[in-house]
Structure 1
Amino acid sequence: MKIHPQQNLVFTYGTLKRGFPNNSIMKDIQASFIADANTKSKYPLLQAGKWNAPFLIHHENYPGSFHVQGELFEVDEKGMSVLDEFEGVNNSYYKRLRIEVYTQNKDGFQISKNAWCYFRYQKSAQLLANTSGFLPFFGNEELKKYTPVHLRPSNWRENK
């Protein structure tokens, strides 16, 4: 697993993963898939809101949370700007923070990596208070409930 010095590692846990609706963004920015990964710490991952989107809350080892399963990508600085825009970092909707994730090498040994991750910031306390449980991963069953961006009204960011 060779990481280029000018690149960033990004942990994705939702619709940016391979085979999911927003992975086209990862392709557009020429992000390189590195490996499947899990968060070192447990975090609350939930599916909520009007669009049933996956949200990761930055509350380490929150009761009932899981080591979240996702994917690790390599992204250049220009690509990071695109992801920040998509995730609404400039609007304080999400925050981009560094976390530790684990991947496995070809011999099955765990390797710890430091990666960027997008955490829901806006209304996170409210989401935690109103959830009925957390997810270990966002998969195909959860995807069935999700409303893709292209099916939302043009002002959807204003109505989150």
Structure 2
Amino acid sequence: MAAEEKWTVIFTYGTLKRGFSNHVLMQDLILAGNAIYLGHAITVTPLPLVCGPYSVPFLLNLPGAGDKVRGELYSVSPRALIRLDELEGTLRGHYERLPISIREEVQGREGEGEIVKAEAYYAHRSYAEQLWSRNGMKGLCCYSEKEVLDYVKRKDRPQDITFLDQIRIFIASSAN
């Protein structure tokens, strides 16, 4: 690792967490020396966490709405950040990586962990508010095994339309 490489702290709240479908990427990055697991964390500010099409989790950059969100912190290399940006579709308008304040969770001492400046993948601003409305302005405090029951992996989703089109169709449909 070059001394000048700046690593980035990333807050994961959905499928990149341990035990979920995209965590294999984090494992590969850790094995390659491009990521380090730092521990459990919670957002300092309440933020909406909702599910979109195929039960894909989205953190919405609407501070004060929703709940404090639980997730995991990783320190990642510039190489890892490129791979994560690719997975999250930042160049395609799926997500955008933005700053976030996170409190590290200390077992048995709620609210006492250090506040960390990190980055997170938020739903792109072009559809975030509509996604919040589509979810009845109700969010989750964590993406769990319950939500993952309806999760559809990328390879199993329709391939003839873009993910942005799938999001638009989801937003236009009525909630169950």
Provide TM-score, normalisation by structure 2.
Answer: 0.80
CA–CA distance in structure 1, aligned partners of residues 75 and 16 of structure 2? 13
The number of aligned residues is 153
CA contact (8 A) 2:94 2:163 kept: no
Residue 18 of structure 1: aligned partner: 18
- Three-state SS of the structure 1 residue aligned to 2:51 is strand
- Three-state SS of the structure 1 residue aligned to 2:100 is strand
Select which of 138, 160, 163 maps to 1:157: 163
CA–CA distance in structure 2, aligned partners of residues 127 and 99 of structure 1? 20
1:135 has 2:133 as partner: no
Give the CA deviation at 1:123: 1.5
Give the CA deviation at 1:119: 0.2
Seq. identity, %: 29
Query: Which structure features the higher share of strand residues?
Result: 1
Residue 97 of structure 2: aligned partner: 96
AA of the residue aligned to 1:58: N
Residue 38 of structure 2: aligned partner: 34
- Three-state SS of the structure 1 residue aligned to 2:140 is coil
Distance 1:110 1:154, change over 3 A: same
Answer with 1 or 2: which has the greater Rg.
Answer: 2
CA contact (8 A) 2:93 2:164 kept: no
CA–CA distance in structure 2, aligned partners of residues 158 and 131 of structure 1? 17
Query: Which structure features the higher share of helix residues?
Result: 2
Give the CA deviation at 1:149: 1.9
CA–CA distance in structure 1, aligned partners of residues 108 and 67 of structure 2? 25
CA–CA distance in structure 1, aligned partners of residues 8 and 84 of structure 2? 12
Residue 56 of structure 2: aligned partner: 53
AA of the residue aligned to 2:29: I
- State which drifts further: 87-96 or 11-20: 87-96
Provide TM-score, normalisation by structure 1.
Answer: 0.87
Give the aligned CA root-mean-square deviation in angstroms. 1.8
List alignment gaps of at least 5 residues for structure 2.
Answer: 167-176
Residue 119 of structure 2: aligned partner: 116
